[in-house]
Structure 1
Amino acid sequence: MGNSKKLSLAIAVFILGASLVACDDGRGGAENAAKQFAAAMSTLDVGSVPFDGKDSAVASQQVQDVFKALEPDRPTVAAGELTLDGDTASVPLDYTWKIASGEWKYTVSAKFTKSGDKWLTVWNPASLVPGLNDNEILSKGSQSPQRADILGAGDAKLVTYRPVVNVGIDKPQLGAADPAASATQLAELVGVDPAAYTQQVAASGAEAFVIAITLREEGRTITDQQIQAIPGARAIPATQPLAPSRTFARAVLGTVGEANAEQIEASAGALTAGDITGIGGLQQQYDAQLRGTDAVVIRAQRADLTSEQIQAAATDPRRVVFEVAPTPGTPLKTTLDPNLQALAESTLAGVGPASAIVALRPSNGAVLAAASGPGSNGYNTAMLGQYAPGSTFKMVDSLAMLRNGLTPDSKVECTPTLTVDGRTFKNAEGYPESSLGSVTLRDAFAHSCNTAFIAARDSVSQAQLEAAAMAMGVAVEAPSLGAAAFLGSVPGEAAGTEHAASMIGQGKVLVSPLAAAIMAGSVAKGSPVSPQLVLNPDAGAAAGGTPGEPTADAASPSSGVTPEAPSQASGQPVTAAEAAALADMMRAVVTSGHAGFLSSVPGAPVGAKTGTAEFGKENPPKTHAWIVAVHGDLAVAVFVEDGGLGATTSGPLLKQFLTAAG
């Protein structure tokens, strides 16, 4: 190619390029600047955005200050259709925020200007939030709706708002008085640690009211006069969600208070410091259902506005830019009978070791009382305790034996002792000689002959024992319960002394007091009892629970059998005929066995089974004391952890409960 041709081609290319530049009106650059600003606002970090009239670092800090109250929330920001006017452009920006249960959407206009060959974003706070001024920031306030009640049988209010007084030092009321002296005096009056409270008062601001204790209004013995006699001390009336008494079903229901650090961390942002939430039990498990959702108000206000100025102003100097209405919580309905629960607790009031009484209605599985005594120290012994059931498990043995062809009238051998693989088993102290030898299964059951049941181990396999337990509704899951519980664990395989020990409810066999009541209830019902405590679990709460809490239908270690087929190993739940034979034997415990003291309980005839289970390494060993009973449409289990004999320790507690329950 000649030089003239090359030159012509070069000139042609130059002219074409020049015409392309001339056709670009700057729209592409402006659109890129708009997209960059929208993307930066989606992260609330505009440090890389070039501004007209504002240093990028200063602008970025101001953006963070404006939205600090909304952390950790971030908006989604999308740029709309650009309008170009020479060296200036404007773009609508669509903001979408997820705030609590609401959605805050708004559109603002962002402006851009061309400086040389660069497009710059024009700094304007109104492109962050509609109408925002340069000296303004956002604030966020929330208010929880009133927490929903927990209801019992017949919709009785178990946990509801009850009057209390917040007792503390109101620092502005101290005058010339010594804060430390007043704090010490008040702490001693209400029974809190004086050193810790004095330190708390000293560390609080000059305007603070520092609570020492919250007292129930009903039945309080510390009077307003005693409180007011201390300089700066006050009792301020309030209400709080409370059960009828401090101890009422506390381990089952849980309590309400400020979220602890562990709960806040586990809540994935749902809880923050100072939030009121459920602590333990049903209050924590169903917190979302009971709490509802907070009202949220977002306001624009001067950056230097103080809370004192807001309180002193005749009209609120802030303006509302967005709000979410509160959603009230839904009451949680339970089957607990307030009278039976209170009766169970008063029955256990004087028992020193860990203890429990569980009462349920066999016909529908309703848990009417689940009381854990003072010795349980706040633990839910009634539903979560894992203990060897001792001779109460002979109900399960007997079912397995009935399924092998025996009847209550079949003869079994009751010997004073029995040795298995070098380990000697014996009957309980004071076993009647008249019931030794060849006796009916009914008599061996009524007097709880250990050796007769252990002697049946060759004809009752461990797998049959497990199947019989599941057939009676224990060692299975509890899909309808709605609360964390342990429903028993029976190994499917065991040999030698361990299999022998299983025959008398020891070895690795474990039940809770709830499971023991279910076992007895299945006899009364004539089919397995499926326990129910919560009647209207919120689907989300029931399935997931609160982080760190068992799920609603957790049944702790169980045999892994599905709820639909609680006796897969046997293929058969307990039948009405089998239950009738077991009921006949449980009645014999009262009419001729060692629970004769229950014969005077008024009303329907009582059937029962006692149990004493050894535990620990001491000699003689300590024992768990058990007794279960059926009385009409009521099944009850009584348990005392370190309690001697079932008949002599738990028996009188059961009689007291059944007699008062009517």
Structure 2
Amino acid sequence: MPHTRTIRRWVAVATASVVLLTGCSKIGLTTPQPTPTAGGSATRATPPNGEPAADDTVTKLAQALQTGNLSQLPLVGDPTTITKAVADDYAVIMSGMDGFKPKVVTEPVAYEGNGVAGVALQQTYTFDKSVWKFTTTARLNLVGGQWRVAWKPDIVHEQVTSTTRMRHTRELPERAPILGAQGKAIMESRDLFQVGIDKQNLLQAQWAASAKRVAELMKIDVAAYQKQVASAGARAFVIAKTVRRSELPEAVREVPGAITVTVPGTVGVSAGFAQSLLGAVGKATKQQAKDSAGAIAVGEPIGLTGLQKRYDAQLRGTVGHLVMLVQRRDAPAPKAGEPPFVPLTLHALDPVEGKPVQTSLNTDWQHRAQSALAGQKGVAALVAINTETGEVIASAESPAANGQALATFGRYAPGSTFKIVTALALVRKGLSAQTMVDCPATTTVNGRVFKNYDDYPANKLGRITLGEAFANSCNTAFMLQAKQLGQGDLTAAAAALGVGVDFDAGFPVFYGSVPGTTDPVVAAANSIGQGQVETSPLAVAALGASVASGRTVVPWLVSGHQPKPAAAPLTANEASQLQAMMKLTVSAGAATSLRGVVDGAKTGTAEYGAGNPPKTNAWMVVYKGKMAVAVFVADGASGSQAAGPVVKAFLA
């Protein structure tokens, strides 16, 4: 069981008291025998004539202390009883050591003659990052031609006696918080409250009514909880729900048999707050404890998902270790005039508190993102980033995402939002927003017929500017113009806009994949965000941020893990051309529903699956001031219809 800080302070005082008392030898500790020294006047390093070497017995002693198995240890005493007696004594001494055993290195045996010898045992315990070293002495007697150990408790530790034993405890540090952009905790350790029915203080006739009322107050299934209460033991505490203080109904106190139990927990500032990113903390399993090599014990807090898992070691800190000399349960009471026994600290390592993880999440905007997605019946995601710094301001998914980090780690075809990349590649070939291009109703590439989306405006077919083709999302125009691009041009343009280059940014993130290809059909599909191109909502947000800022913006979340782009930077002309196209999309294109709400935008619809017609996912990426926002709606009809309202709800 972990010690609290209060207990640690008490131990410190108690230890000081023992130091004073032991000087008068008043607590019953046996004074250890002097360690034999090879080569001294009374001992020798080799056996006297006629006596065998004691090396085999010494080796068995070291092995016995290291393994805890004393069955093969030669002992002085009645062979029919001594082995069990010593094994029992050793088991009592070590019963509180949580399975820890020492590594033992023996010094050369010191022979005293007349069948007497001694050996010094260098013992080392390793507790995670704490090492405890000490030396004890074992006495040996030659009995019937065999060296045997004269067992005494102080072989285990020099201060252990027949009335004391050792006890190890772990002291857990407080888990450090995850911080938001304002430096305030957005996920931290705090008291939670288990609300339920305590059956031992409730008449059976009241079980059903009380369970019904508690279930109603806690907003859980009434019938299921009544059944749970009825089937539990007669003295059981049946938990209905664990909540934070702000969620605890005052009326629970009035329900007969209902109680609340305070328990520790690690939670966000509100229920579900950025849960897919921040993750969860739970109790370590036996396997997790084993894998930690002593850093974590079964049942201790451990990060299970998200940032809590990635930075678990940093957040949890280093556990403290305390080994104390305590009385055995059957120790006699002190005699008249003797002071009571006071536990003695043998080894102590204070815990080291964890260090916070600093993130860029803005609490207010994160709440707004979650609110904007709360009404979505299907899977949807939203990411907002700072166009100047790349900081992830908000990242959220709809309830249907079931806690998956789809906003940052989902892999989807970006559809026409990827025309931002293709437009940059074309500008680098000498085109501009004013360049005239052809936008036919269909175009054929190597026998494959491509067309525009069903609601493409008929008055924007034919000869139009590249800016108009972008604003109204003409697939055929971009495919025809993309024929002049080289195999790696889209890849390079994407990298300049923060997409398609993998970085370890310290959290679950997919920056997109934009592979080159020699297949003209795939190349045509890639140019409109289909084919082999994949992005996450976060990567699409990077497109908007890079255009808005006029330079490569790679989104980041965790301080100290900001990626450094190495792609060829945007020129002033390239940024100006892209900004003009995204502004035109709002003023006279597919995103006119966002006039007055955003500065620039690009809609997108991506087909997927083998259906006829295929299903579609909807996209929208926008920028306003210093913020870029990307919204993804699974199975959405179009970017303007499905994703646009989410953008408006978020920014309104």
Does the Cα contact within 8 Å between 2:631 and 2:643 map onto a contact in 1?
A: yes
Does the Cα contact within 8 Å between 1:361 and 1:367 map onto a contact in 2?
A: yes
For 2:75 and 2:209, locate their aligned partners in 1 and report how far apart those are by CA, in whole Å.
58
Aligned counterpart, 1:427: 452
Q: For 1:239-283, what per-residue CA distance to the aligned partner results, in whole angstroms no more than 9, with x for missing partners?
A: 533212112101110122223566446544543332112221111
Aligned pair partner of 2:233 in 202, 209, 221: 202
- How far 1:96 sits from its partner (Å)? 1.1
Cα 1:160–1:57 shift into 2, 3 Å: same
Cα 1:607–1:188 shift into 2, 3 Å: closer
Alignment of 1:17-36 (within 5 A): 24=48, 29-30=53-54, 33-36=57-60
Aligned pair partner of 2:636 in 643, 657, 662: 643
Aligned counterpart, 2:543: 519
For 2:617 and 2:171, locate their aligned partners in 1 and report how far apart those are by CA, in whole Å.
49
Give the partner amino acid of 2:485.
V
- What is the SS of the residue equivalent to 1:586? helix
- How far 1:522 sits from its partner (Å)? 1.5
Aligned counterpart, 1:631: 624
1:504 aligned onto 2:528: yes
- How far 1:31 sits from its partner (Å)? 5.2
For 1:127 and 1:163, locate their aligned partners in 2 and report how far apart those are by CA, in whole Å.
45
For 1:622 and 1:327, locate their aligned partners in 2 and report how far apart those are by CA, in whole Å.
53
Aligned pair partner of 1:610 in 594, 603, 609: 603
Alignment of 1:210-229 (within 5 A): 211-221=239-249, 223-227=251-255, 229=256
- What is the SS of the residue equivalent to 2:488? helix
Does the Cα contact within 8 Å between 1:476 and 1:566 map onto a contact in 2?
A: no
For 2:323 and 2:198, locate their aligned partners in 1 and report how far apart those are by CA, in whole Å.
30
Give the partner amino acid of 1:634.
M
- Normalised TM-score (structure 2): 0.83
Give the partner amino acid of 2:178.
I
Aligned counterpart, 1:445: 470
Aligned counterpart, 2:586: 590
How many residue pairs are counted as aligned between the two chains? 592
Moved more, 124-133 or 440-449: 124-133
Aligned counterpart, 1:578: 574
Give the partner amino acid of 1:97.
Y
1:246 aligned onto 2:271: yes
Cα 1:305–1:655 shift into 2, 3 Å: farther
Give the partner amino acid of 2:596.
S
Does the Cα contact within 8 Å between 2:214 and 2:252 map onto a contact in 1?
A: no
Alignment of 1:522-601 (within 5 A): 522-536=546-560, 566-567=566-567, 572-601=568-597
For 2:238 and 2:345, locate their aligned partners in 1 and report how far apart those are by CA, in whole Å.
31
For 1:440 and 1:85, locate their aligned partners in 2 and report how far apart those are by CA, in whole Å.
105
For 1:160 and 1:531, locate their aligned partners in 2 and report how far apart those are by CA, in whole Å.
25
Percent same amino acid among aligned pairs? 37
For 1:97 and 1:630, locate their aligned partners in 2 and report how far apart those are by CA, in whole Å.
59
1:408 aligned onto 2:401: no
For 1:283 and 1:148, locate their aligned partners in 2 and report how far apart those are by CA, in whole Å.
10
For 2:188 and 2:263, locate their aligned partners in 1 and report how far apart those are by CA, in whole Å.
13
Does the Cα contact within 8 Å between 1:29 and 1:118 map onto a contact in 2?
A: no
- How far 1:441 sits from its partner (Å)? 0.8
1:281 aligned onto 2:306: yes
Aligned counterpart, 1:361: 386
Cα 1:500–1:159 shift into 2, 3 Å: same
- How far 1:597 sits from its partner (Å)? 2.5
Q: For 1:193-246, what per-residue CA distance to the aligned partner results, in whole angstroms no more than 9, with x for missing partners?
A: 43884498439xx6x75644312210333633244x12xx31134553321211
For 2:353 and 2:387, locate their aligned partners in 1 and report how far apart those are by CA, in whole Å.
35
- How far 1:609 sits from its partner (Å)? 0.6
- How far 1:129 sits from its partner (Å)? 2.5
Cα 1:179–1:97 shift into 2, 3 Å: farther
For 2:506 and 2:170, locate their aligned partners in 1 and report how far apart those are by CA, in whole Å.
31
Give the partner amino acid of 1:225.
R
- Normalised TM-score (structure 1): 0.82
Give the partner amino acid of 1:575.
T
Cα 1:531–1:23 shift into 2, 3 Å: closer
Does the Cα contact within 8 Å between 1:187 and 1:197 map onto a contact in 2?
A: no
- How far 1:297 sits from its partner (Å)? 2.9
Output the aligned Cα RMSD: 3.2
For 1:143 and 1:196, locate their aligned partners in 2 and report how far apart those are by CA, in whole Å.
39
Does the Cα contact within 8 Å between 1:385 and 1:512 map onto a contact in 2?
A: yes
For 1:93 and 1:428, locate their aligned partners in 2 and report how far apart those are by CA, in whole Å.
83
1:110 aligned onto 2:138: yes
Aligned counterpart, 2:153: 125
- What is the SS of the residue equivalent to 2:481? helix
For structure 2, the 5+ residue unaligned runs are 1-45, 332-339
- What is the SS of the residue equivalent to 1:469? helix
- What is the SS of the residue equivalent to 2:57? helix
Aligned pair partner of 1:257 in 269, 282, 289: 282
1:342 aligned onto 2:367: yes
Aligned counterpart, 1:547: none
Give the partner amino acid of 1:345.
Q
Q: For 1:53-84, what per-residue CA distance to the aligned partner results, in whole angstroms no more than 9, with x for missing partners?
A: 26446645654564355455431212236444
Cα 1:175–1:352 shift into 2, 3 Å: closer
Aligned counterpart, 1:141: 169
- How far 1:423 sits from its partner (Å)? 3.1
For 2:154 and 2:198, locate their aligned partners in 1 and report how far apart those are by CA, in whole Å.
43
Does the Cα contact within 8 Å between 1:478 and 1:530 map onto a contact in 2?
A: no
- How far 1:578 sits from its partner (Å)? 1.6
Does the Cα contact within 8 Å between 1:476 and 1:488 map onto a contact in 2?
A: yes
Q: For 1:594-629, what per-residue CA distance to the aligned partner results, in whole angstroms no more than 9, with x for missing partners?
A: 21222212xxx6111110111223333221111111
Cα 1:23–1:70 shift into 2, 3 Å: closer
Aligned counterpart, 2:510: 486
Moved more, 423-432 or 249-258: 423-432
- What is the SS of the residue equivalent to 2:383? strand
Give the partner amino acid of 1:528.
T
Give the partner amino acid of 1:156.
K
- What is the SS of the residue equivalent to 2:385? strand
- What is the SS of the residue equivalent to 2:53? helix
For structure 1, the 5+ residue unaligned runs are 1-21, 307-314, 538-552, 554-562
Cα 1:218–1:170 shift into 2, 3 Å: same
